[in-house]
Amino acid sequence: MSVVVDNIGLLVTHDDERPERRGAALVIDYGRIAWVGDSSDAPAADEKVDAGGRCVIPGFVDSHSHVIFAGDRAEEFDARMGGRAYEAGGIRRTVGLTRGATDDQLQDNAARLVAEARAQGTTTMETKSGYGLTVADELRSVRVAASLTDEVTFLGAHVIPEGSDRDDYIDLVVGEMLEACAPHVRWIDVFCETGAFTVDESRYILNAGIARGLGARVHAGQLGESGAVLLAVELSAASVDHCTFLSDGDVEVLAGSNTVATLLPGAEFSTRQPYSDARRLLDAGVTVALASDCNPGSSFTTSLPFCIALAVREMGMTPAEALRAATLSGARALRRADIGHLSVGAQADVVILDAPSYVHFAYRPGVPLIHRVLTPRP
């Protein structure tokens, strides 16, 4: 069935020649964008959706989240707001709660968060394992994730579980755990930070995943500068995520690579770390994405509109740059050419705003601005 979305006040396509149109319409056919043009020239279709002069944008692409978990860490957040510094060690508390949850509890919690994200305009959501850290718990985590999204990441290398020998655990990650999880995932990731994994350990783990046909992603630069960004580029990782602390050399190397710098302002908001300097990266020619980093410890939000508002207010991005980062660049962080834009041939993930412009994400922060989400499929 074909659908025409007509009477669009402002349409954002991210098309190279004409990224924005006023007085526009688009046609969806067989789950793809079939036509884009002026509203006055809109062809007939089986169904008509009147946008009522509203702004229409591509669905958000959230390229970094951790929604497979149990419990929360509100007390930890409260303590941070009272002055305690953020550390990676809180992950182990969520590991204990996740191991103790039933499959149904993990499924229900993750599905609730994915639905929450969709209601805020997210139509593609990557998510990771990493709160199980045993073969059985990582396997059930990726299976739950795969029931909700095609973009699943194996993060057995999140932290060393309490009571585990470091070398033995790394051998488990690259051996039996990877063997069990690889058929259910597209990506492998490592938390390459103080308190988690070193650069050399991360290279070893990532190369094991790459040898199994998985794409690489890297957590880096959240707690301080390290060689993790250089490692990500060395391995042609699709993205390096956080990028709060970067050297001039890191920025230069990223600018000459196909690795996307994915910024996670929700984490800075929740941990009171300095915000990533998006302006510095953009001016250097780095491709910058925005993602939620939804997790119970350091960024318990599914709202990309909230992240856009933070990026504009705190990270030096214009509203147009922030929207692009949360859509088209998020798609690039997943190495996807079919989402994040509304050009002819793209997947028909269409979001109608309850606003005349995407500028309202930052102009009216915290206000629900999603009128309707259309994700028709063939």
Query: What six digits make up the tokens of 293?
Result: 């980093």
Please determine, for residue 220, whether its predicted confidence score (pLDDT) is greater than 70: yes
Condensed to tens digits (0 to 9), the pLDDT of residues 170-209 reads 999 999 999 999 999 999 999 999 889 999 999 999 999 9
Provide the pLDDT for residue 378.
45
pLDDT band for position 85 (50/70/90)?
Answer: confident
Reference 90, options 105, 71, 108, 65; nearest CA is: 71
- 3-class DSSP state for residue 180? helix
| Strands 152-157 and 187-191, sheet pairing | parallel
Condensed to tens digits (0 to 9), the pLDDT of residues 119-131 reads 999 999 999 999 9
CA distance 82 to 78: 6
Neighbours of 342 (CB within 10 A): 30
pTM for the whole thing?
0.96
CA distance 243 to 54: 34
**HSE value, Cβ hemisphere, 13 Å, CA-based, for 61:** 28
Please determine, for residue 341, whether its predicted confidence score (pLDDT) is greater than 50: yes
| Strands 239-242 and 122-125, sheet pairing | unpaired
CA distance 282 to 324: 12
